Amino acid sequence: MFSPQPLRNGETPSPHPRISAPHFHSTLSAQKLRRFNSLILLLRLLAFCFSLSSSIFTLTNSGGPGSPSWRDFDAFRYVFAANAIVAVYSLLEVTASAWEVLKSATIFPEVLQVWFDFGHDQIFAYLLLSAGSAATALAQTLREGGDTCGSYSAFCLQSDIAIALGFLGFLFLGFTSLLSGYRVVCFVINGSRFHL
Amino acid sequence: MFSPQPLRNGETPSPHPRISAPHFHSTLSAQKLRRFNSLILLLRLLAFCFSLSSSIFTLTNSGGPGSPSWRDFDAFRYVFAANAIVAVYSLLEVTASAWEVLKSATIFPEVLQVWFDFGHDQIFAYLLLSAGSAATALAQTLREGGDTCGSYSAFCLQSDIAIALGFLGFLFLGFTSLLSGYRVVCFVINGSRFHL
């Protein structure tokens, strides 16, 4: 049975369609894969929006001379750096996901793409959580210990919002990591099956 | 070809050995599996030791009346709780791993065991990292901002040691999570293959 072969690993389309089992490349499977990739795209877009917002909220959290600035606190600098890194990464991944949804092909070779996505999702989820936790501890100390939050409540409020946005970014990146982990498992299984 | 069937899913040994492909249940595979499980056991043991030490170091970090106590700081209470939970979990998992190495069988049904291990490894790794990051931010604030570390340097030193031990626990739990993730993938593949 001949079926349209989706492009894999940046392959150029072959003039001779290969014979394949209907089970793997049916229209139903292609539709499911498309829906799955669209969900990943949506989650990556949300992770991008929240991490970008968090980094912007942190970056603009400075009330001018005399008032505290986010640059004075290591944990807030950590939040900014982590969220900025994740925003850049998410933007690249949004492009890759959109490409995959539109062209049904991965930008990099498939094996590299699935492992790259999963590995980086995991590492960056850890990074965001770590930054968020550190900043939460600092924000709580500022609120309880000193008079920073008494005199400059806007600074503390903006910090809280930035931290919350970062945690939301972590949440969506964590969900994406689950899906990209599932993709790795699927690839490992299908990869083995193609060799059978 | 008949081969000794390792016990799976808490099965009782069958008087009629089943016919199986030599590829899966060869002595070499059994040896490899044993070595792999021993490595997991070692990592779990290390994670247990470090998280237990971290929780004990935190718990005993109180210099009596007048001096600061770990109970006064939310982040240190978080470190204690997270490490104590991970220590209990790791102890249970050490028992399960030792059972698996000795008896070549999982305590729970295999599908439950591999997913339980991987899921909990992931969640508890996130928990330890989060607690460690929060406590690091607090410890740094104490060191820079107030006179707590000037007057009570032993308190700060012990906090730092507890945090470092917690991070080491996270490191070993993270490695274990990679291996238990690999086990899930192997199980998914083999599980499918048993149905073929």
Q: For residues A54 and A76, is the Cβ–Cβ distance under 8 A?
A: no
Q: What is the CA radius of gyration of chain A?
A: 22
Residues B117-127 have pLDDT tens digits of 999 999 999 99
User: What is the model's pLDDT at position B28?
Assistant: 67
Q: What are phi and psi of B117, to 5 degrees?
A: -60, -50
To the nearest whole Å, the CA of A53 is away from the closest chain B CA by 21
Neighbours of A39 (CB within 10 A): 14
Nearest to A185 among B135, B145, B188 (CB): B188
Partners of A19 in the β-ladder: A2
Which residues span the domain enclosing B146? 36-59+73-195
User: What is the model's pLDDT at position A33?
Assistant: 80
User: Across residues A99-105, what is the average pLDDT?
Assistant: 86
Partners of B184 on chain A (C-beta within 8 Å) are 185
To the nearest whole Å, the CA of B136 is away from the closest chain A CA by 7
User: What is the model's pLDDT at position A158?
Assistant: 92
Partners of A146 on chain B (C-beta within 8 Å) are 145
Query: Is A4 among the domain residues?
Result: no
Residue A76 CA to residue A61 CA, distance in Å, equals: 10
The reply to whether residue A130 touches residue B135, judged by beta carbons under 8 angstroms, is no
To the nearest whole Å, the CA of B43 is away from the closest chain A CA by 20
Residues B125-170 have pLDDT tens digits of 999 999 999 999 999 888 887 677 877 888 889 999 999 999 999 9
User: Across residues A106-126, what is the average pLDDT?
Assistant: 90
Nearest to B137 among A129, A138, A192 (CB): A138
The reply to whether residue A133 touches residue B130, judged by beta carbons under 8 angstroms, is yes
User: Is 60 exceeded by the pLDDT of residue B3?
Assistant: no
To the nearest whole Å, the CA of A144 is away from the closest chain B CA by 10
Interface of B with A (CB under 8 A): 74-75, 125-126, 129-138, 140-141, 145-146, 181, 184-185, 188-189, 192
Query: Is B100 among the domain residues?
Result: yes
User: Is 90 exceeded by the pLDDT of residue A176?
Assistant: yes
Q: What is the residue type of A139?
A: A
Partners of A74 on chain B (C-beta within 8 Å) are 137, 140
User: What is the model's pLDDT at position B127?
Assistant: 95
Asked if this assembly's ipTM is beyond 0.85, the reply is no
Residue A109 CA to residue A183 CA, distance in Å, equals: 14
Nearest to A192 among B134, B140, B189 (CB): B189
pTM of the model: 0.79
The reply to whether residue B141 touches residue A138, judged by beta carbons under 8 angstroms, is yes
Residues B16-51 have pLDDT tens digits of 444 444 444 567 677 778 888 899 999 999 999 999
Neighbours of A86 (CB within 10 A): 29
Q: How many domains does chain B have?
A: 1
Query: Is B175 among the domain residues?
Result: yes
SS3 B2: strand
User: Is 50 exceeded by the pLDDT of residue B55?
Assistant: yes
Residue B24 CA to residue B120 CA, distance in Å, equals: 28
Nearest CA in chain B to A177: B122
Residues A15-74 have pLDDT tens digits of 444 444 444 456 767 777 888 889 999 999 999 999 999 999 999 998 777 788 888 889
Angle between helices B110-144 and A74-103 (to 10 degrees): 140
Q: Could you tell me the pLDDT band of residue A116, with boundaries at 50, 70 and 90?
A: very high
To the nearest whole Å, the CA of A138 is away from the closest chain B CA by 6
To the nearest whole Å, the CA of B126 is away from the closest chain A CA by 7
User: Is 60 exceeded by the pLDDT of residue A196?
Assistant: no
Residue B157 CA to residue B162 CA, distance in Å, equals: 9
Query: Is A177 among the domain residues?
Result: yes
Nearest to B129 among A129, A141, A189 (CB): A129
Nearest to A188 among B136, B145, B185 (CB): B185
Interface of A with B (CB under 8 A): 74-75, 125-126, 129-138, 140-141, 145-146, 181, 184-185, 188-189, 192
Query: Is B163 among the domain residues?
Result: yes
